[in-house]
A and B are shown apart, each in its own frame.
Chain A
Amino acid sequence: MTFLILTSLILGIFSGLILFSPENLHFLPQVTQGALALLLFCIGFDLAQERDLFQKIKGLPKIAAAVPFLIALGSLLGTLLISPLLNLRPGQGALVGAGFGWYSLSALIIAQTYDLTLAALALLTNVFREILAILLIPLIAAKLGHLPALAPGGAAAMDVTLPFIARSTSRQTALLALYSGTVLSLLVPILIPLLIRLLAA
Chain B
Amino acid sequence: MFLITAALILGFSAARLDFLPEFIKQNMKPISSAALFLLLFSMGLSLGSSSEIMTALPVLGAKAFLLALAAIAGSTLLVWAAVRVTAGK
Contacts and interface: CB of A to CB of B under 8 A. Distances in A.
Contacts of B49: 16-17, 20-22, 25, 28
B32 A39 contact: yes
A148 B3 contact: no
A42 B36 CA distance: 11
A101 to B, nearest CB: 8
Contacts of B28: 42, 45-46
Contacts, number: 274
Interface residues of B, number: 65
Interface string A60-94: 01110011001111111111011001101000010
Interface residues of A, number: 89
B56 A124 contact: yes
A100 B74 CA distance: 12
A79 B72 contact: no
A189 interface: no
Interface string B27-57: 0100110011111111111111111111011
Interface of B: 1, 3-4, 6-16, 20, 28, 31-32, 35-54, 56-57, 60-61, 63-80, 82-83, 86-87, 89
